[in-house]
Structure 1
Amino acid sequence: MAVRLFSSAALWTTATLLIGGVTLSSYYTRSVERGFDQRLHVYLKTLVAGVADGTFSRDDPGSFGEPRFDLPLSGWYWQITRLDKEPTESTTSKSLFEEELPRLADLGVKETVVGTREGYAAGPERRRLRIVERTVDLGPDGRYLIAIGGAAGEIDKDIADFNVTLLISFLLLGLGLVVATGFQVRFGLRPLARIRAQLVEIRQGGRSRLDGAFPQEIAPLAGELNALLDVNREIVERAKTHVGNLAHGLKTPLSVIANEADAGEGAFAAKVREQAVLMRRQIDHHLERARLSAGVALAGDTTPVKPVVEALARTMEKVYRTRDLAIAVEATEDLRFRGERQDLEEMVGNLVDNACKWAKGRVAISAAPYGPATGPNGRPQLRVLVDDDGPGLTPEQSAEVLARGKRLDETKPGSGLGLAIVSELAAMYGGRLALAKAPEGGLRCDLTLPGV
């Protein structure tokens, strides 16, 4: 928008200045020519008067006040040609130096309404002259063509000086107008830039709504955006409520079925128990996905990472206190996750819990900004590494264990959904979960998430 506004204003300014410059230059050219012609007409009238009253002589043509008529080839000339005699006779100024002025009639220049001709022609030494000529008929005293010529270089110089001054002035004016247009566009679009900055803060969790006064043209947009945020927040909260209600509504009957099956004996009871376990896993999985999708849909939440990781480490030390596990934590200060705290606890908690189940005696947790500093979408990322010194996994087992509900060892407690949920939730946030070999020899869980 700014480029379009600036470009259109700059093009319009350039076109206006160009048209104005050409117009002014043309007007000044005509004005200079008229002034020069008026000067020539004064000399012409002086010669006509001298010829008409018989006082004209070559040595004293009249009161010109112009010494260049006496300087050879000075560029200023006069010429009187008698047309009623054959051959024609010409009397010229001393400056013509045995040369003659061209006749404008021979060059196709038409007479004006007052009987004069005005035009440009090449004179002595091929110099460009501005010539004014008039035919005077004195009856029995003769018929004469009287011409006055002046160096057109004076006209050209005045016009060139004016055009240079005009060009410099218009360039400076155009530059000033373009700069002023840039400031005007930037100032005019500042409210939109402020809306964008506030939306970034909303996305990063710094605010929940657009605040401040906006111009009348932008205020409806800000209001609609606030309304959209409110509606989105209501939808998310409603979805969370429905997920919770559904969880309670399904888990209670399923628990009753499982308890009744545990009390019974035989193949039928065993089959019911087996199916009840599968149903519980499926319900847990889909309810968890619905809850996570609702959580991710709400923009603007950020969570400090270090307190969450340290709290999970303390919790796991208490849960697995009988195994005497050492859980080391190394987290960067002020590192923040762009998402809900509950989701971060869900992902990291599952990874740490899985590591504690398989570790022999040591679990290491580290959280820091991601090395490349920005992800594929150009936003900051963070990285959480959870290492253990357990048996680890082969590449084939790593791919298999991320499958939904897949457990490699049925002797370990759990539903087999932990790593699959972490992987799916990380993908919803634009991150990923990768499994590799840890430096301690066990499994390394490499979790990449959006940061702030």
Structure 2
Amino acid sequence: MIRRWLPNRRSIALRLMGLAVVMVVGSLILSGIILQALFVANLEASVKRDLEAAMTRLIAVIDPSTSTPSISAPLPDPRYETPLGGRYWQIEALDTKGVARSRSLFDQQLDVAPQANGSIVHWTNKDRFHLILLSRDITIDGRPYRVTLGEDHDPIHQASQAYGWDIGRLFALMAIAIVGASWAQLQLGLAPLNRLRSAVDDVRFGSVGRLEGAFPSEIEPLVSEVNALLSEREELAQRGRRRASDLAHGLKTPLAALHGIAMRLRDKGQGDEATVLDDLAHEMSTRVDYQMRLASLRTRTGEHRESSSLNTAVLRTVAVLRKTQDGENLHWMAQLGDDPDVDIHRQDLMELIGVTLENASKWAHASIAVSTATAGAMALLTIEDDGPGIPDELIKKLGGRGMRLDQNVPGTGLGLAIAGEILDINGGAIAYSAGERGGLKVEVRLPLARR
């Protein structure tokens, strides 16, 4: 479940989500910077309007009759009279170099050149005294003056910081909400792909033969192509089975003819030649049956994987073998654990258990022990007989096609080879060793079925 919600680096969901996060975060950061800049610009514009109005009032009260600049009446804002009160004015007589300042300036001197059209400037002295200034050159009764008004920039800076923090908190919540909504939208948009994957799994494990269900129009062409491919594979498999069946039936007639020729040779007294023909016909018939069984296994397991009960297959196979000539005189002991479902087709499982138990019944003297268990993600089937056993140097040769260690025991030597083929196809393994009962011990491992 965790892996599903944490996609890997090649995931479309991760790429789209990463792009959404970058776009959302980048857009909000850029928006915050622009909004804060607009906020500061509006505050400074408001200050400029106030300074322009104050400039008009200050110019109106300048007294040009004195050599040192002076005003005939104080300005109404009390901040001009409070040292470092936040509002400041300065008047400089350009002809006499006399200077008049507001009490709020205390011991500060505004040394700013006049700006064209009375534009706003930012002024900072060595004491980090940061002001917004408006300065103009005027002439009153023929005397030149430079009039400067200023206001502290710190309140604007503090308001800008507070506004920035408020925007940051608001945009952080918005980013979380937008990213969460984007993730939900992404999951909803990719849900059809998850359904498609589940449908493919159903086909792979044999639950259905085709992709079924309603899919969006964008995915329908892919579904149609996959279904067409499945149909083509099924047709090729059916064609292969028919050709294999035709080949087998086509060979049966010549093989029967060989047996007939062998019988006529034996009637004529040519027993050796008849025996050679019988052996050749029997070997060819055995090979044909073996390849037919393998062809059936490959076709079935490659396309129709299913979940099968291991214990049920063991009990059914034992019940059948107990009625055979080799098995009716044996004591069968089954120690079955929790019923594990294995990832193998039921018919393949029956074939696998059948050939391994049949091999044990041929060699056992009196008893056969069968047990099942689970070990991690694998199911373990153990078969042990009390037969004569096999030398260690020959155990490694078991499972080879046509390998018969004792020619006196009936059989073709292909049973364990078929068991090996079944396990190779289904991801299992088989191991042979000397058993505690004196005979052969066979351990078969099969992957557990997916829950």
Are 1:248 and 2:249 an aligned pair? yes
Are 1:298 and 2:309 an aligned pair? no
Q: Using the TM superposition, give the Cα deviation of residue 355 of structure 1 relative to its aligned residue in structure 2, in angstroms.
A: 0.3
Identity of aligned residues (%): 30
- SS of 1:189's equivalent in the other structure is helix
Kept after mapping to 2: 8 A contact 1:73/1:95: yes
Are 1:68 and 2:79 an aligned pair? yes
Q: Using the TM superposition, give the Cα deviation of residue 178 of structure 1 relative to its aligned residue in structure 2, in angstroms.
A: 0.7
Amino acid at match of 1:122: T
Counterparts of 2:309 and 2:234, CA distance in 1: 22
Counterparts of 2:225 and 2:32, CA distance in 1: 48
Kept after mapping to 1: 8 A contact 2:382/2:443: yes
Q: Deviations over 1:275-317 (max 9, x none)?
A: 3333233323323322222122223433333332211101111
Amino acid at match of 1:201: D
Kept after mapping to 2: 8 A contact 1:232/1:298: no
Alignment of 1:9-408 (within 5 A): 9-51=20-62, 61-64=73-76, 66-85=77-96, 88-105=97-114, 110-111=115-116, 115-123=117-125, 125-140=127-142, 142-263=143-264, 264=266, 265-320=270-325, 324-332=329-337, 334-369=339-374, 371-373=375-377, 381-408=378-405
Q: Using the TM superposition, give the Cα deviation of residue 28 of structure 1 relative to its aligned residue in structure 2, in angstroms.
A: 1.7
TM-score scaled by length of structure 1:
0.88
Counterparts of 2:125 and 2:80, CA distance in 1: 14
Counterparts of 1:450 and 1:328, CA distance in 2: 24
Counterparts of 1:256 and 1:331, CA distance in 2: 48
Do the aligned partners of residues 226 and 50 (structure 1) sit closer, same or farther apart at CA in structure 2, a change above 3 Å counting?
Answer: same
Do the aligned partners of residues 21 and 134 (structure 1) sit closer, same or farther apart at CA in structure 2, a change above 3 Å counting?
Answer: same
Kept after mapping to 2: 8 A contact 1:364/1:388: yes
Do the aligned partners of residues 195 and 330 (structure 1) sit closer, same or farther apart at CA in structure 2, a change above 3 Å counting?
Answer: farther
Kept after mapping to 1: 8 A contact 2:69/2:92: no
Counterparts of 1:257 and 1:348, CA distance in 2: 34
Amino acid at match of 2:112: R
Cα RMSD of the aligned pairs, angstroms, is 2.5
- SS of 1:126's equivalent in the other structure is coil
Q: Using the TM superposition, give the Cα deviation of residue 220 of structure 1 relative to its aligned residue in structure 2, in angstroms.
A: 2.6
Kept after mapping to 2: 8 A contact 1:385/1:444: yes
Do the aligned partners of residues 243 and 301 (structure 1) sit closer, same or farther apart at CA in structure 2, a change above 3 Å counting?
Answer: farther
- SS of 1:448's equivalent in the other structure is strand
Counterparts of 1:98 and 1:58, CA distance in 2: 17
TM-score scaled by length of structure 2:
0.88
More displaced, 30-39 or 432-441?
432-441
Kept after mapping to 1: 8 A contact 2:356/2:416: yes
Q: Deviations over 1:105-147 (max 9, x none)?
A: 4xxxx42xxx21421112584321111111111252x111111
What corresponds to 1:377 in structure 2? Answer: none
- SS of 2:334's equivalent in the other structure is strand
Counterparts of 1:117 and 1:256, CA distance in 2: 118
Counterparts of 1:188 and 1:407, CA distance in 2: 60
Counterparts of 1:297 and 1:98, CA distance in 2: 96
Q: Using the TM superposition, give the Cα deviation of residue 53 of structure 1 relative to its aligned residue in structure 2, in angstroms.
A: 8.2
- SS of 1:216's equivalent in the other structure is coil
Q: Using the TM superposition, give the Cα deviation of residue 58 of structure 1 relative to its aligned residue in structure 2, in angstroms.
A: 5.3
Q: Using the TM superposition, give the Cα deviation of residue 248 of structure 1 relative to its aligned residue in structure 2, in angstroms.
A: 2.5
Counterparts of 2:147 and 2:126, CA distance in 1: 17
Counterparts of 1:104 and 1:435, CA distance in 2: 102
Q: Using the TM superposition, give the Cα deviation of residue 239 of structure 1 relative to its aligned residue in structure 2, in angstroms.
A: 2.8
Counterparts of 2:22 and 2:221, CA distance in 1: 31
Structure 2 residue runs without a partner (length 5+): 1-11
Q: Deviations over 1:211-270 (max 9, x none)?
A: 322222222323333333333333333333333332222234213313532552244333
Amino acid at match of 2:89: W
Are 1:433 and 2:430 an aligned pair? yes
Do the aligned partners of residues 259 and 104 (structure 1) sit closer, same or farther apart at CA in structure 2, a change above 3 Å counting?
Answer: farther
Amino acid at match of 1:353: E
Kept after mapping to 2: 8 A contact 1:239/1:294: no
More displaced, 153-162 or 96-105?
96-105
Counterparts of 2:274 and 2:344, CA distance in 1: 44
Counterparts of 2:325 and 2:72, CA distance in 1: 130
What corresponds to 1:423 in structure 2? Answer: 420
